[in-house]
Structure 1
Amino acid sequence: MSIIENLFAISPYIALFITLALGYLIGKITIGRFVLGGVAGTLIMGVLIGQFGVQIDPGVKTIFFALFIYAVGYQGGPQFFSALNRRTINILLSAVVMTVTGLLCVLAAAMMFDLDSGTAAGLAAGGLTQSAIIGTAGDAISQLGNVTEEAKQMMQTNVAVGYAVTYIFGSLGPILMVSWLIPTFMKWDIREEAIKLAEKLSSGKPELAPGQFNALTDLVSRAYKVDSNSRLIGKNTQEVNAELLDIAIEMIERDGQAIEADKSVSICADDVIIITGRREAITQLVGVNSQEVSLPTGTTLIEENRQLIAKDAKLIGKTLAQLKATANSDVIRGVYITDVVRGGTSLVITPDLTINKDDIIQLTGSAKDINRVEKNIGKRLGSAFATDYVLFGLGMVVGLLIGLISFEIAGIPVTIGSGAGCLISGLFVGWLRSRKPQMASLPLGASNFLRDFGLAVFVGIVGLQAGPQAIDTIKEHGLTLLFLGMAVTIIPQIISFFISYYVLKIKNPIEALACVSGGRSANPAFAALLEKAGNATPVFAFTVTYAIANVLLTLWGPIIVGIISTQ
């Protein structure tokens, strides 16, 4: 054992990565419908490996949690601001129910088992996983009158003891509740419900899991034989393409030879025309009775999808039909519109759709033709794989600065904290990206990595730090405090869930579960819910309840001390 302890003392990060590896390994264990999950597995392994006395700078936990919560906010920003409405009141009330129920459970436990103010405050801090209670309760204890200094010191020590004993299950219990117990009782499939909610928020656009793709793509290339009655005979490709919005004739095959589309080439009967564009528009052009033919093996047609940000003042307020007419005025084969994105959402392409500033317009065609029209539309959208480190860095700075803000409520100091600060900053930057697509790029792969790795490190360090003290205090004080902590952790969640679901009518499963985790500021539980959901749909409900819970739970420290000290 001494060898391992020495190794972890020399390089504690070895212990951290062992915790991550083993935690996510046991997180794959499946028993029936129950899957522990990587978050809960990492927390458990952290407690076990933490018995070797691993010491890791607490600042590491802080910065990785900040990265995790910033990425969460960034991904959920567009949906968060679009979802703000009167329904938010019920979600706010859900957080109030959770926090007040938690307070009542702590007070009931203190009165039934004759706990002193310090132990009761520690029970609240650990059972409700709100570390700020330690500070506010300790300050309130120091100001108690008619109490000796020795008694005050003992109560302040008991705050830490109660916190240490109850914190582990305080973190693990909500994970099990939102990722397994409640969904199992309600017969919910979290991933399926998250997909449904994502489709609802995106106006019915399906969400695809990793490896999935839509086999019925909107953009297709088809070849048709021109019959003698076709209205296209006698027209050249530029004339035909000028009339089209989201398709174009790109190639003509005559007598077995491919002819590059050109102004001088007119369409003749029995020609084979290759049309590329949106599926339904192609059918409208050639007619349902047209004869589709196969192209010879090896036929190639190289085109490009290019996304442009609508910036040209002359185009803002114009329709897509007007844009297309302008775009095709000086091209040979034709450029066509295959997507319009506004505020992060793809719009239905119609000729009379009006262009707004900062719309993302996707043009398809040859690179040469797109180059000719690009300058008339706007700036090219940057690479989808490059991170805007300027705004990423500034976003983190702003989040950490917000976290330093302190204020008083009824004389009680409240600090926002780096977690809440970076969540606010991430939400704003994510929303900014949806409105100003040329700014704040953080590719999905990069944000997923920040989110998942930041979470893994945070939870691992929580377990490593809390493990030794919790085991020692359980041995010293018995299991009573541990069981009280379990009750304080579980009972408010059950009560809050049923009130939220049946009284406040928060019927969407993802939002209901997010309210449970956010209403007690349970970051690991929220992380587990995100892991099960596989998308950012829980962000909105969690963010609203998390903000309220952080303030109210922090206030409970001096309230608990004040009420119990007068008994």
Structure 2
Amino acid sequence: MSFLNDLFTAQPLLALFITIALGYLIGKIRIGSFVLGGIAGTLLIGVVIGQIGVTIDPGIKTIFFALFIYAVGFQGGPQFFHALNRRSLNQLVSAFVMTFVGLITVLLGAWAFGLDRGMAAGLASGGLTQSAILGTAGDAIANLGLSDAVTKTMQTNVAVGYAVTYIFGSLGPIILVTWFLPAIKRWDVRAEAVKLAATMSGGNAELDPGQFNAVRPVVTRFFVMDTARGSNGMSVLKLDGALSDAAVEAVVRAGKSLSFSGDTTLRSEDVIAVSGTPEAIVAGATLLGTEVPAPAGFRLVEESREIILTNKALTSRPLSEIHEHVSVDTRHGVYLTNAKRMGIDLPLLGDLTFNRGDELHFVGRPTDLDRVQSKIGYKIGAAAVADFVFFGIGLTIGLLIGLISFRLWGVPISLGSGVGALISGLLFGWLRSVHPRYAALPLGASNFLRDFGLAVFVGVVGLTAGPQALVAIQQNGITLFLLGVGVTLIPPILTFFFSYYVLRIRNPIEALATVAGGRSSNPAFAALLEKAGNSTPVVSFTITYAVANVFLTLWGPVIVGLVTTNATA
């Protein structure tokens, strides 16, 4: 033990990276559908290794938490501001009510059982599974002007509260959305998901002529034009219109590839390459000739391209309506194969509406994709390099915002660097979605900042908590655990019935997804997706998740301000 103490004293960062590695290792342990997760695992391992006595510069914790929370805000900015509209007002209200009831539940528990500010914030962080509260509450405690000993004790108690309540905080919402709430309402989640998918696609489980569902694979087949078929003598553009979700991609005449346009007339014995959904090609088989293998040595180059949606005109209409009104010559050879929001796949159904900042995946020839790209947004590949000018400006503004302090109903509130970085991240993420030339921060880079920033922050928190953490757990463990159960279960149950009867969120899938999103619970959402068997819960989850992430993070300094009990050193 003395060897490790000497080693970690000489190089404290060794303890930090060992903590992260072991934390994520045990975080992979799966019990049924429950996974502890790397963050909770890192905190627990940090507390264990911290018993040796490890001193790490607190500035490291501050820097990496700012990076984490800025990335969270940047990724959620477009969805958060999109949620502030009349169409999603009921889900916006539901998410806020969920977070507010969670805040009240934490405060009542803290006041009733005499918890100090740190323990109350930890209860909120673990019971509501919002790791960001660890940082925003810790900042607020540091700004109270208390003695170093009291400040350190309460910051340790934040980690203790989180560690004791987090496991059930993750498990509780899974139970609620996959069993308890559906059982009360007698809902069959899978059947309701199938029903909602049919509703979103116009009530048709299968594709009708002219309707498209681009989530299906795009294939290419070759046909020899036949005088007996209706397409002989047609122009390429006219045939594209008749095929709907398929298009002529190449014309081989007399053994040579022909340079063609929409006005090119197809002749008997021409070999044409047709790309599109298998359904569209089969449906148009009466217009095409005999299917043949590809000509020897023939190559047809296509590209898979990811485009971020920025065109406001495409965010106000259902997907089916956009497809119907876009001309054949515009959508020729371009196929939407997938769409993501906040990294989560969206259901490509007719009733789906897109938001600015959604990631759309297309397949087609490069020339066809170039034609439509400017009408949609910007190519992700074009933003492969982070814009460090705006990144630096964003964090500077965030840290300046964090210096703001004020009194709310007589209670002193200090925003701190965490809240400031969150607000700045939201603004710059929104700026990027509407002005794609500025503030580039590729998804891979922002994911790394978010995940690694939080891992380092939580690792430092666990290591510095040290022996104090075990003492606090021994003194308050059972009480904290039971309070955590209440904080985990009471807000979603109350908000579910409020949303159902008052806000009239009656569709079972939307109601359950709103619970998972309002609780900022990724494990519950993953379990609901598995139960549903399709991606219909995604839209409601992303709206409420973005809103909940913001408000739950803001509750850190609010709890520290409203709970007036300080720990004893």
Per-residue CA shift, 1:236-274, capped at 9, x if unaligned? 65886799987543333457x343244798533243221
The aligned counterpart of 2:384 is: 386
CA contact (8 A) 1:94 1:504 kept: no
Per-residue CA shift, 1:203-244, capped at 9, x if unaligned? 78xxxxxxxxx9964543221222223344345658867999
The aligned counterpart of 2:490 is: 495
**Alpha-carbon spacing, 1:551–1:52, altered in 2? closer, same or farther (3 Å):** closer
The aligned counterpart of 1:555 is: 561
The aligned counterpart of 2:83 is: 83
**Alpha-carbon spacing, 1:169–1:233, altered in 2? closer, same or farther (3 Å):** same
Relative to the length of structure 2, the TM-score reads 0.68
1:178 to 169, 190, 195: 169
1:274-423 matched pairs, under 5 angstroms = 274-277=273-276, 282=281, 287=286, 290-296=289-295, 298-304=297-303, 336-339=333-336, 364-365=364-365, 367=367, 381=379, 383=381, 386-389=384-387, 390-423=389-422
Per-residue CA shift, 1:169-203, capped at 9, x if unaligned? 311234212322442465469xx99xx89x99xx7
**Alpha-carbon spacing, 1:282–1:422, altered in 2? closer, same or farther (3 Å):** farther
Distance 1:135 1:72 in 2: 23
> How far has the Cα of 1:158 moved from its partner?
6.1
The aligned counterpart of 1:512 is: 515
**Alpha-carbon spacing, 1:489–1:169, altered in 2? closer, same or farther (3 Å):** farther
Distance 2:328 2:117 in 1: 70
The aligned counterpart of 1:69 is: 69
Give the secondary structure class of the aligned counterpart of 2:413. Answer: strand
Give the secondary structure class of the aligned counterpart of 1:413. Answer: strand
> How far has the Cα of 1:64 moved from its partner?
1.7
Q: Percent identity?
A: 35
**Alignment-mate amino acid for residue 407 of structure 1:** F
Give the secondary structure class of the aligned counterpart of 2:55. Answer: coil
**Alpha-carbon spacing, 1:553–1:240, altered in 2? closer, same or farther (3 Å):** same
Distance 1:265 1:104 in 2: 75
User: Is residue 93 from structure 1 mapped to residue 97 from structure 2 by the alignment?
Assistant: yes
**Alignment-mate amino acid for residue 11 of structure 2:** S
Distance 1:7 1:531 in 2: 41
**Alpha-carbon spacing, 1:405–1:283, altered in 2? closer, same or farther (3 Å):** farther
**Alpha-carbon spacing, 1:237–1:488, altered in 2? closer, same or farther (3 Å):** closer
Distance 1:240 1:31 in 2: 55
CA contact (8 A) 2:214 2:337 kept: no
Distance 1:500 1:306 in 2: 40
Distance 2:423 2:476 in 1: 36
**Alpha-carbon spacing, 1:396–1:249, altered in 2? closer, same or farther (3 Å):** same
Q: Report which stretch shifted further, 73-82 or 533-542.
A: 533-542
Distance 1:512 1:322 in 2: 36
The aligned counterpart of 2:272 is: 273
Distance 2:361 2:34 in 1: 45
Distance 1:24 1:135 in 2: 28
1:124 to 103, 120, 134: 120
> How far has the Cα of 1:301 moved from its partner?
1.4
CA contact (8 A) 1:122 1:158 kept: no
**Alpha-carbon spacing, 1:215–1:184, altered in 2? closer, same or farther (3 Å):** same
Per-residue CA shift, 1:441-468, capped at 9, x if unaligned? 4333322222221221121111011123
Distance 1:321 1:163 in 2: 57
Distance 2:155 2:107 in 1: 15
> How far has the Cα of 1:394 moved from its partner?
3.0
**Alignment-mate amino acid for residue 174 of structure 2:** P
Distance 1:376 1:52 in 2: 58
Distance 1:181 1:376 in 2: 45
**Alignment-mate amino acid for residue 556 of structure 1:** L
Per-residue CA shift, 1:100-124, capped at 9, x if unaligned? 33333233324xxxxxxxx745543
The aligned counterpart of 2:250 is: 251
2:110 to 106, 113, 128: 106
> How far has the Cα of 1:17 moved from its partner?
0.7
Distance 1:258 1:364 in 2: 22
Per-residue CA shift, 1:53-85, capped at 9, x if unaligned? 222222222222222222223333333233332
Give the secondary structure class of the aligned counterpart of 2:406. Answer: strand
Distance 1:163 1:482 in 2: 17
User: Is residue 167 from structure 1 mapped to residue 147 from structure 2 by the alignment?
Assistant: no
CA contact (8 A) 1:224 1:293 kept: yes
Relative to the length of structure 1, the TM-score reads 0.69
CA contact (8 A) 1:23 1:42 kept: yes
Structure 1, gaps ≥5 residues long? 111-118, 140-152, 205-213, 313-318, 328-333, 518-525, 562-567
Q: Alpha carbon RMSD of aligned pairs, Å?
A: 5.0
Give the secondary structure class of the aligned counterpart of 1:295. Answer: coil
Give the secondary structure class of the aligned counterpart of 2:381. Answer: coil
Distance 1:278 1:502 in 2: 43
Distance 1:447 1:482 in 2: 36
User: Is residue 449 from structure 1 mapped to residue 453 from structure 2 by the alignment?
Assistant: no
The aligned counterpart of 2:314 is: none
> How far has the Cα of 1:511 moved from its partner?
4.3
**Alignment-mate amino acid for residue 427 of structure 1:** L
The aligned counterpart of 2:548 is: 542
Give the secondary structure class of the aligned counterpart of 1:93. Answer: helix
CA contact (8 A) 1:92 1:544 kept: no
**Alignment-mate amino acid for residue 381 of structure 2:** S
> How far has the Cα of 1:306 moved from its partner?
6.6
**Alignment-mate amino acid for residue 89 of structure 1:** V
> How far has the Cα of 1:48 moved from its partner?
0.8
**Alpha-carbon spacing, 1:288–1:402, altered in 2? closer, same or farther (3 Å):** farther
> How far has the Cα of 1:43 moved from its partner?
0.8
Distance 2:362 2:295 in 1: 29
